[in-house]
């Protein structure tokens, strides 16, 4: 009896009890789907009729699927461009915004607005702006003798147009994280460096950037996960096209599972993606632990 | 103990609150007093105030009329965008929350037919009151999977060429006649196009979706080609007929006479046609009301050779019934029978401009006003006789279509030759077709 009393009165019990609703939600919307899609990946199913168990056949078919390979290549190109551009762009913008000038709050808000806007709204806006025949951007480029460019409608340019649009859309998030981190740089270090006559560039290179290491690591990991899961923009803007030029992994598995009735195979792709993202994140954290300086 | 008690109370309150708000929102069944509550998914247009779509209003009128005649049946109309009706129903079936009646595209039928909750209508539609043989043959084919009837035709349309009479007159072109050919269409399109003024002869949906594919399939059939082999085991579109159709589109694109519409859902082509920027648009009767600002004519699809086939493709959609107990199934069938009586079909056609799904409606005295009220719709109604083939009713069709759509767009853009693109699509399609 005293044991029970000790358990119920402990901090642990109260803590778990308060966390219980959140744990339930994570269990229902996180863990159950993860296990369920693992089971699906060993089946042939359209989600409507009962599935058939087919062992590893879905996984064995993956290496022979040219569209899966194309989707991986596109996802990797996208990630390789999106992550450095948004993180570096976020850093430079944050440093530019980290000063006391008139109207700084307006600039900071302006940079963050795209993050809060819904993707569907920004997608439609870019669709109109970048229309090859009737868009404002091509009209302005035409005035100075350039273009017209196909942007989302061009097989060679569509993926890069999506990179541009998503960097614009997400850079505000990187800026906010970096601005917060910039507040954490000890003023004493900066003053000491100034007294020693350190120039602006050298200060940025040798003091600011290293001290922002933890923020950079977080942003690189977070942006990479996000980039490998690219879906909304492709779904709204290009549907994987023109041709196959913007097929990325998540769009491909979505179209398989929900419009083509091949849910088991799609689940296998989802699992390959899960393992890929998990490995990439572990590598990034492992490398990061060696490179990043944690000021305590 | 006290602290634990408080947290338990908090959790219970939260859980009860969470459960009570989500429960029993669609669990309406037949009540003890014989009252039957039905849920019907329809996706023509959102209900007002989102839009004042004539389709919604017309359907609502018939539902109201039906409920007056059957006071014990209540039908709740829920808007589900038809493009996502298959996804929605997939999820609903997983949770046992399927509607009683759902509007579904014909291309969804083979997938849906695998659901055990779908009601097999084969013996039911044999009853004379359903007038099954009065439905257009192409509709009946699409309502049927493996010889079993699963759908009641909800809508039928077909593709024809809508052209801008003013642009044709400006360029001194003869308006298309019923015996016209693709080479005539191509010559007209090139004559009308003027890249400097952003005027294009013809528009083509280029998102690679079924919208791309069915337009291409009509051209394929006119050229004597087929989508799959007769046993549905292999792709057949990479034939000389398929190449001929795709080469034509590629040539028009090279001549800057083809507007590649990468977002056909966004309605850009319709807007351009209505602004006099497009000479021709291959579309169905549903689009006619979006062209109030231009003088347009409607002509059936061209043939490839003089005197050749002018066949077109129909995209019949169906009402399907899911099993939520016999009382609700019977009430649903009662309603669908009422919805498809010739008199109600005529009322719906006159209110919306949709083609009547039953042929006998065209013989009703009131039908003569149809083409007066909706200029050009009469051509589409008459064009139903050119619907002689249906898309293959196999579960793999959506995946085959996606492959074909990707490759058709790639070939039009010049990323591959028509033959190479079609061969690649056929190779992909064959690999999908071997999997049951």
Q: Is the peptide bond before B49 cis (omega within 30 degrees of 0)?
A: yes
Which chain B residues are Cβ-neighbours of A60 within 8 angstroms? none
- Which of A5, A14, A17 to mutate against chain B (most B CBs within 10 Å)? A17
Are B200 and B101 in the same domain? no
Nearest to B397 by CA among B80, B144, B106, B84: B106
- Say if the Cβ atoms of A240 and B7 lie within 8 Å: no
DSSP annotation string for B208-229: SSHHHHHHHHHHHHHTT--SB-
Are B310 and B164 in the same domain? yes
* Residue B122 DSSP symbol: T
- Say if the Cβ atoms of A261 and B1 lie within 8 Å: no
CATH of the domain at B46: 3.40.190.10
Are B248 and B168 in the same domain? yes
Are B418 and B348 in the same domain? no
What are the structure tokens assigned to B230, written together? 């007769």
Q: What is the nearest CA distance from B386 to chain A, expressed in angstroms?
A: 29
Are B210 and B237 in the same domain? yes
Which chain B residues are Cβ-neighbours of A244 within 8 angstroms? 406, 410
Position B12 in a domain: no
Least confident range from A238-252, B12-26, B119-133: namely B12-26
> CA quadruple A65, A67, A69, A71: dihedral positive or negative?
negative
Q: What is the nearest CA distance from A103 to chain B, expressed in angstroms?
A: 39
What are the structure tokens assigned to B224, written together? 């004597």
Q: Over 50: is that where the pLDDT of B11 sits?
A: no
What are the structure tokens assigned to A91, written together? 């850093």
Which chain A residues are Cβ-neighbours of B15 within 8 angstroms? 21, 24
- Say if the Cβ atoms of A67 and B399 lie within 8 Å: no
CA distances from A201 to A170, A190, A207, A208 (A): 26, 13, 10, 10
- Say if the Cβ atoms of B207 and A133 lie within 8 Å: no
Are B173 and B261 in the same domain? yes
pLDDT in tens, A77-99: 999 999 999 999 999 999 999 88
Mean pLDDT value across chain B: 89
What are the structure tokens assigned to B365, written together? 């005295």
Q: How sure is the predictor about B44, in pLDDT bands with cuts at 50, 70 and 90? A: confident
Q: How sure is the predictor about B416, in pLDDT bands with cuts at 50, 70 and 90? A: very high
Q: Over 70: is that where the pLDDT of B29 sits?
A: no
pLDDT given for residue B289 in this prediction: 82
Which chain A residues are Cβ-neighbours of B18 within 8 angstroms? 21
- Say if the Cβ atoms of B259 and A238 lie within 8 Å: no
CB B176 within 8 A of CB B125: no
Q: Is B385 exposed, middle or buried (0-12, 13-18, 19+ CB in 10 A)?
A: middle
pLDDT given for residue B117 in this prediction: 94
Position B352 in a domain: yes
Residues in chain B whose Cβ is within 8 Å of chain A: 1, 3-4, 7-8, 10-11, 14-15, 18, 86-87, 90, 93-94, 111-112, 114-116, 198, 206-209, 259-260, 262-263, 266, 395, 398-399, 402, 406-407, 409-410, 413, 415, 428, 431, 435-436
Q: Over 90: is that where the pLDDT of B173 sits?
A: yes
pLDDT in tens, B61-105: 999 999 999 999 999 999 998 888 998 998 899 889 999 999 999
Residues in chain A whose Cβ is within 8 Å of chain B: 5, 8-9, 13-14, 17-18, 20-21, 24, 44, 46-49, 64, 66-67, 127, 133-134, 152-153, 155, 238-244, 255-256, 258-262
Q: Answer with the residue of higher pLDDT: A148 or B261.
A: B261
pLDDT in tens, B371-392: 898 888 999 998 988 988 889 9
Q: How far from the centroid of its chain's Cα atoms is residue B15's Cα?
A: 43
Smallest Cβ–Cβ distance between A134 and the set B111, B198, B435 belongs to B198
Residue after which a domain boundary falls, among B356, B377, B410 = B356
- Say if the Cβ atoms of A21 and B86 lie within 8 Å: no
Q: Over 60: is that where the pLDDT of A231 sits?
A: yes
- Say if the Cβ atoms of B198 and A259 lie within 8 Å: no
* Architecture per CATH, A62-291: Orthogonal Bundle (1.10)
Q: What percent of chain A has pLDDT over 90?
A: 59
Averaged pLDDT, A265-274: 95
Sequence-distant (6+) residues with CB within 8 A of A159 are A74, A77, A78, A245, A246
Smallest Cβ–Cβ distance between A127 and the set B4, B112, B263 belongs to B263
Q: How sure is the predictor about A201, in pLDDT bands with cuts at 50, 70 and 90? A: confident
Q: Helix, strand or coil for residue B345?
A: helix
> What is the distance between the alpha carbons of residues B200 and B164, in angstroms, rounded to a whole number?
11
Are B295 and B327 in the same domain? no
Which chain A residues are Cβ-neighbours of B410 within 8 angstroms? 155, 242-244
> What is the distance between the alpha carbons of residues B378 and B370, in angstroms, rounded to a whole number?
7
Nearest to A78 by CA among A160, A153, A155, A172: A160
Are B98 and B234 in the same domain? no
CA distances from B336 to A91, B37, B46 (A): 62, 15, 21
Q: How sure is the predictor about B59, in pLDDT bands with cuts at 50, 70 and 90? A: very high
Are B181 and B269 in the same domain? yes
Q: Over 80: is that where the pLDDT of A251 sits?
A: yes
Least confident range from A193-207, B13-27, B227-241, B366-380: namely B13-27
pLDDT given for residue A103 in this prediction: 86
Q: What is the nearest CA distance from B2 to chain A, expressed in angstroms?
A: 8
Which chain B residues are Cβ-neighbours of A152 within 8 angstroms? 262
How many residues in total does chain A contain? 296
Q: What is the nearest CA distance from B366 to chain A, expressed in angstroms?
A: 40
> What is the distance between the alpha carbons of residues B205 and B260, in angstroms, rounded to a whole number?
6
Q: Is the peptide bond before A31 cis (omega within 30 degrees of 0)?
A: no
Sequence-distant (6+) residues with CB within 8 A of B22 are none
Backbone φ/ψ region at B357: left (φ over 0), alpha (ψ -120 to 50), beta:
alpha
Q: What is the nearest CA distance from A105 to chain B, expressed in angstroms?
A: 37
pLDDT given for residue A295 in this prediction: 62
Averaged pLDDT, B308-335: 94
Three-state SS letters, B150-215: CCEEEEECECEEEEEHHHHHHCCCCCCCCCCEHHHHHHHHHHHCEHHHCEEEEEEECCCCHHHHHH
Are B307 and B414 in the same domain? yes
pLDDT in tens, A58-68: 999 999 899 99
pLDDT in tens, A93-124: 999 998 888 888 899 999 999 999 999 899 98
Range of the domain at B263: 160-314+389-433
How many residues in total does chain B contain? 436
Averaged pLDDT, B303-313: 94
Q: What percent of chain B has pLDDT over 70?
A: 92
Mean pLDDT value across chain A: 90
Nearest to B319 by CA among B71, B112, B60, B128: B112
Residue of chain A whose alpha carbon sits nearest to that of B421: A243
Sequence-distant (6+) residues with CB within 8 A of B411 are B246, B249, B250, B417, B418, B420, B421, B422
Q: How sure is the predictor about B7, in pLDDT bands with cuts at 50, 70 and 90? A: very low
Are B206 and B295 in the same domain? yes
Helices (runs of H) and strands (runs of E) counted in chain A: 16, 2
pLDDT given for residue B63 in this prediction: 96
Beta bridge partners of B228: B235
Nearest to B388 by CA among B226, B269, B200: B226
Which chain A residues are Cβ-neighbours of B207 within 8 angstroms? 239, 241
Are B170 and B280 in the same domain? yes
Place of tokens 């005295």: B365
- Say if the Cβ atoms of A241 and B206 lie within 8 Å: yes
CB B385 within 8 A of CB B311: no
Its pTM stands at: 0.84
- Overall domain count for chain B: 2
Q: Answer with the residue of higher pLDDT: A162 or A184.
A: A162
- Say if the Cβ atoms of A47 and B7 lie within 8 Å: no
Q: Are strands B317-321 and B73-79 parallel, antiparallel or unpaired?
A: unpaired
Which chain A residues are Cβ-neighbours of B116 within 8 angstroms? 49
Q: Are strands B258-261 and B200-205 parallel, antiparallel or unpaired?
A: parallel
Domains of chain A: which residue ranges? 62-291
Averaged pLDDT, A285-292: 88
Which chain B residues are Cβ-neighbours of A17 within 8 angstroms? 4, 7-8, 10-11
Q: Are strands B144-145 and B148-149 parallel, antiparallel or unpaired?
A: antiparallel
């Amino acid at each position: 009896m005293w044991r029970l009393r000790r358990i119920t009165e402990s901090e642990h019990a109260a803590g778990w009890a308060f966390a219980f609703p959140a744990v339930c939600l994570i269990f229902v919307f996180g863990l159950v789907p993860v296990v369920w899609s693992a089971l699906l990946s060993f089946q042939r199913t359209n989600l409507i009729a009962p599935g058939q168990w087919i062992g590893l056949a879905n996984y064995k078919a993956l290496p022979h699927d040219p569209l899966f390979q194309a989707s991986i290549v596109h996802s990797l190109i996208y990630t390789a461009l999106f992550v450095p551009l948004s993180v570096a762009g976020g850093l430079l913008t944050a440093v530019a915004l980290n000063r006391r000038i008139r109207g700084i709050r307006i600039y900071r808000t302006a940079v963050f607005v795209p993050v809060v806007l819904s993707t569907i709204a920004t997608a439609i806006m870019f669709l109109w702006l970048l229309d090859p025949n009737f868009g404002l951007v091509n009209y302005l480029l035409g005035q100075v003798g350039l273009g017209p460019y196909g942007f989302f409608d061009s097989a060679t340019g569509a993926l890069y147009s999506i990179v541009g649009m998503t960097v614009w859309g997400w850079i505000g998030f990187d800026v906010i994280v970096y601005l917060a981190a910039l507040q954490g740089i000890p003023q004493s270090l900066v003053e000491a460096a100034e007294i020693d006559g350190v120039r602006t560039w050298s200060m940025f290179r040798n003091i600011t950037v290293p001290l922002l290491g933890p923020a950079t690591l977080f942003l690189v990991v977070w942006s990479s996960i996000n980039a490998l899961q690219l879906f909304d923009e492709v779904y709204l803007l290009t549907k994987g096209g023109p041709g196959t030029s913007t097929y990325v992994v998540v769009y491909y598995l979505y179209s398989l599972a929900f419009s083509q009735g091949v849910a088991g195979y799609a689940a296998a792709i989802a699992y390959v993606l899960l393992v890929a993202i998990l490995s990439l994140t572990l590598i990034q954290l492992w490398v990061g632990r060696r490179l990043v300086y944690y000021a305590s | 103990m006290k602290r634990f008690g408080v947290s338990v109370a908090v959790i219970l309150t939260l859980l009860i609150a969470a459960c009570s708000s989500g429960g029993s929102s669609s669990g309406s069944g037949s009540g003890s007093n014989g009252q039957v509550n039905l849920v019907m998914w329809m996706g023509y247009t959102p209900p007002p105030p989102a839009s004042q779509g004539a389709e919604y209003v017309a359907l609502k009128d018939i539902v109201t009329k039906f409920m007056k005649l059957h006071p014990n049946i209540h039908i709740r109309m829920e808007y589900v965008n038809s493009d996502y009706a298959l996804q929605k129903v997939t999820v609903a079936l997983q949770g046992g929350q399927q509607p009683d009646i759902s509007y579904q595209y014909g291309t969804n039928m083979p997938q849906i037919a695998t659901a055990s909750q779908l009601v097999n209508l084969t013996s039911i539609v044999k009853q004379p009151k359903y007038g099954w043989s009065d439905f257009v043959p192409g509709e009946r084919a699409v309502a049927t999977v493996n010889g079993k009837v699963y759908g009641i035709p909800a809508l039928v349309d077909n593709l024809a060429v809508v052209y801008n009479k003013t642009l044709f007159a400006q360029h001194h072109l003869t308006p298309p006649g019923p015996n016209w050919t693709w080479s005539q269409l191509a010559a007209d399109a090139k004559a009308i196009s003027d890249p400097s003024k952003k005027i294009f002869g013809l528009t083509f949906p280029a998102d690679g979706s079924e919208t791309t594919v069915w337009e291409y399939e009509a051209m394929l059939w006119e050229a004597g080609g087929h989508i799959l082999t007769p046993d549905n085991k292999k792709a057949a579109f990479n034939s000389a007929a398929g190449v001929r159709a795709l080469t034509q589109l590629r040539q028009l694109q090279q001549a800057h006479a083809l507007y590649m519409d990468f977002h056909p859902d966004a309605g850009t082509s319709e807007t351009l046609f209505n602004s006099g920027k497009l000479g021709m648009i291959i579309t169905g009767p549903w689009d006619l009301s979006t062209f109030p600002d231009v003088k347009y004519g409607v002509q059936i699809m061209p043939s490839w050779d003089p005197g050749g086939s002018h066949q077109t493709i129909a995209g019949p959609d169906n009402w399907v019934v899911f099993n939520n107990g016999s009382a609700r199934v019977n009430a649903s069938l009662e309603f669908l029978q009422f919805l498809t009586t010739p008199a109600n079909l005529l009322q719906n056609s006159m209110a919306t401009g949709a083609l009547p799904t039953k042929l006998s409606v065209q013989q009703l005295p009131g039908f003569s006003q149809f083409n007066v009220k909706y200029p050009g719709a009469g051509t589409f109604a008459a064009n139903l006789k050119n619907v002689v083939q249906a898309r293959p009713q196999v579960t793999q069709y959506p995946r085959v279509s996606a492959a074909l759509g990707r490759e058709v767009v790639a070939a039009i853009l010049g990323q591959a030759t028509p033959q190479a693109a079609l061969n690649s699509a056929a190779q992909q399609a064959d690999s999908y077709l071997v999997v049951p």
